[in-house]
Amino acid sequence: MLTRVRSLVLSVWRLPAAPDARPAGPFDYAFVAVAAVVAVIEVAVLRTDLPFRWLSLAGFLAWLPTLLVRRTMPLLTVSVFAAAMLALLVVTSTTAAPAPGDLNTAVVALLIPYSLARWASGAGAAEGLTLFFVVASISLASQDVSAADRIGGTAVVVAAVALGAAGRARSMLRSRQLDDVRRLERERLARDLHDTVAHHLTAIAISAQAGLAVADRQPEAAADALRRIDEEATRTLAETRKVLRMLRTDDEPRERPLDDLLGLASSGPGPTVEVAVDGDLDDLSPTVAAALQRIAQEAVANARRHARDATFVQVRVASDQDCVELVVTDDGRGSTGSGDGFGIAGMTERAALLGGRLEAGSLAPLVGWRVTAHLPLEEAL
């Protein structure tokens, strides 16, 4: 228990200053000006019987302007406030006169404990609030007020501190939510780039290697490889533009991703890719269809990139009443990769985000590889 309390105290003490503190604006200057005018009217017209009213007004006007920096320098605000209040008490105590009366306008001093809890660092808030409560306690003790008034005044100050702490907690939560959104968007962008650009670049690399291998003996095959490189480069550019367009407009692609699923079929350099779609998939939501396309694309790219001596890759898509199933199988003999890539992790994450699941593994020891994804027909809410 003591360890938890100590950890909590240390975490609060080490809390940095709020990053959203902004400098004073027109509203702040207008607020301070209005408070000063109201205080002058109170002293000169409304409360002419207030003890040491002009001295009280001077003290109020001494610390009032520091409210302009209550967000960026709350410790300065509480320090000037404490100095002004203690100076008033010293002046009146040396003359054996009654303590100066409090201005009703001085209620704006509640912004000081609020600002300390809202914007100061943990250590600064603790020091500033301690100083504020000490000065407020001395001021209350020097005046002839009832116990109920003292309790009520303390409760109001505590409420101001609580409001400041609540505002700070809400700001921190909002900041964390924004950080999570940025992180998710970065992951989404990384997946899209990996599943699209990397796929086409793999095809370009394979075609280039095949073209170089037969360039001397079969010029026609080399020319065919160059045509495939041109096609894949064009697709890569289109996919990159699509991702950038999504980043700029926050719009999902309008075209159906499954329209490109049959385009994965290939009989050129590398293993032959065969695509078979069973059933009607027109009712898939755009998000599920996009995930299905990306997973199939990544699985094919992995087979072409890593499956040793693979000659054939089969992509099969089928649907029933509840889900759509994607199965990608190759006939390779093990993997040439190191296993530390992000392909399977990205595919698994895509499926999980939609409420589906993905399994990947070899069909038999060192023979073939299968990726199976089960996705719901609709997005999981």
> With helix as H, strand as E and coil as C, how does the chain read?
CHHHHHHHHHHHHCCCCCCCCCCCCHHHHHHHHHHHHHHHHHHHHHCCCCCCHHHHHHHHHHHHHHHHHCCCCHHHHHHHHHHHHHHHHHHHHHCCCCCCCCCHHHHHHHHHHHHHHHHCCHHHHHHHHHHHHHHHHHHHHCCCCCHHHHHHHHHHHHHHHHHHHHHHHHHHHHHHHHHHHHHHHHHHHHHHHHHHHHHHHHHHHHHHHHHHHHCCCCHHHHHHHHHHHHHHHHHHHHHHHHHHHHHHHCCCCCCCHHHHCHHHCECCCCCEEEEEEECCCCCCCHHHHHHHHHHHHHHHHHHHHHECCCCEEEEEEEECCCEEEEEEEECCCCECCCCCCCHHHHHHHHHHHCCCEEEEEEEECCEEEEEEEEEECCCCC
Per-residue pLDDT of the chain (381 residues; tens, 9 = 90+): 677 777 767 777 778 888 888 888 899 999 999 999 998 998 888 877 777 778 888 888 988 999 999 998 999 999 999 888 888 877 777 765 555 667 888 888 899 999 998 988 888 888 888 988 888 887 777 666 677 777 877 888 889 989 988 988 888 888 887 777 667 766 766 666 666 666 667 777 777 777 777 677 777 777 777 777 777 777 677 666 666 655 554 444 445 556 667 777 876 667 888 888 887 776 777 777 878 888 888 888 888 877 777 888 899 998 877 788 999 998 887 665 554 456 777 788 778 877 888 998 887 766 788 899 998 876 544
Task: Let me know if residue 64 belongs to a domain.
Answer: yes
CATH number assigned to the domain comprising residue 298: 3.30.565.10
Where does a domain end: 144, 177, 208?
A: 144
Where does a domain end: 91, 124, 144?
A: 144
In terms of domains, do 138 and 268 share one? no
Number of domains in the chain: 2
In terms of domains, do 133 and 7 share one? yes
Task: Let me know if residue 24 belongs to a domain.
Answer: yes
C-alpha 130/C-alpha 124 separation (Å) is: 10
Task: Let me know if residue 368 belongs to a domain.
Answer: yes
Where does a domain end: 144, 159, 190?
A: 144
Task: Let me know if residue 25 belongs to a domain.
Answer: yes
Task: Let me know if residue 362 belongs to a domain.
Answer: yes
Q: What dihedral angle (degrees, nearest 10) is formed by the CA atoms of 290, 293, 297, 303?
A: 130
What is the pTM for the complete model shown? 0.53
The boundaries of the domain holding residue 318 are: 260-381
Task: Let me know if residue 215 belongs to a domain.
Answer: no
Task: Let me know if residue 236 belongs to a domain.
Answer: no
Task: Let me know if residue 370 belongs to a domain.
Answer: yes
